[in-house]
Amino acid sequence: MAALPAAILCAAASCTSCHKDNKLEVSFTVESDGESPNFFKLTADNQTPSSTYEWTADGSTWQGSTVTCHIGRKGLHNVTLRQKDGNRSGKCTKKIQVTQDSYPFLNGEELWWHDEFNGHALDTRSWNYDTGIGKWGNNEWENYTDSRDNVFLRDGKLVIRAIKTGEGQKIGDYTSGRLTTSGKKEISRGRVEVRAKLPGGNGIWPAIWFFGRKAHPYYSELDIMEYVGCDKNIIYGAVHTTATLDGSAEKVSMSRTVPDVETAFHTYGMEWSDKGIAYYLDEPSNVYLRYEPSDFSDPSIWPFDKELYLILNVAVGGDWGGMKGVDDSIFPCEMEVDYVRIFRKK
């Protein structure tokens, strides 16, 4: 997320009042997300380890020295920062002119949870590390770790890096990262957007997907995006249920060619409602897979009334990812994630 010149900002911010008590001077900067013009990064200018920060805008409140907020309704909005450091305090208010209503606002949604990865370390209040080797199915070769060599934040993005650590060409010779929101941020219904840039090359297999066991004994998996690097510039989406796995229902999958999937960020989205599930690329109107079964009462066909959790991972090799071998020259390689945003109906 970068600051944009005032002439092309979708919102213009101006300071209307700044107050300091006991000599605590408070001010902040506003940056507009050019890809999502109703999202704003707010950063306190005078940051100290002992300070607390509270932001208010459009009826919502956030904590932290740097936050990202969504202001969905067009118009002039007050944004206020209250900063406190011991017995010193102060506040600053700026007005932001929002020039358009956002898609979530028009769709009757609110931002339920998001991670913009603006901090210095992964937020383990929302994320878990899945770690280990040889237990993920698909005959994959990677060892998932919680090392900062494999999972870290850089320049406002989450990076999941796959590394060749051994001689190569066998299980355990590669490390990578696998993150989940299991037990922390789980959903049944909602709209999900993950903006990411993908690694490529033979043997690499990044994925953005949802999984859960609360529908047991029925199977439930939603693969928003899988990319096997040997199928260059082709992303895949799939819906897996008991019925699709045992062959009693037709497999639900679709692919889409994305020419710059390895060089540009794209938004991989899912809209999950009572009427079905749709996967889209960049815009909600650009749907590339739709699942609307005729019978929602059969949990072998529709197990999606139970919560699922998000998984972000980069696999190496395996039955699909390694179907044309693993090219050791591609390592290290990275999946970069700009943000994860989940919206729900009000």
Active-site positions?
A: 221, 226
Identify whether the C-beta of residue 198 lies closer than 8 Å to the C-beta of residue 260. no
Give the single-character DSSP code of 103. Answer: H
Among 176, 136, 133, smallest CA distance to 152 is for 176
Among 180, 289, 187, smallest CA distance to 244 is for 289
Identify whether the C-beta of residue 221 lies closer than 8 Å to the C-beta of residue 163. no
Cα dist from 185 to 21, 236, 292, 336, whole Å: 39, 24, 25, 20
Render 242-283 in DSSP notation, one character per residue: HHHHTTSS--EEEEEE-TTTTTS-EEEEEEEETTEEEEEESS
Q: What are phi and psi of 155, to 5 degrees?
A: 55, 45
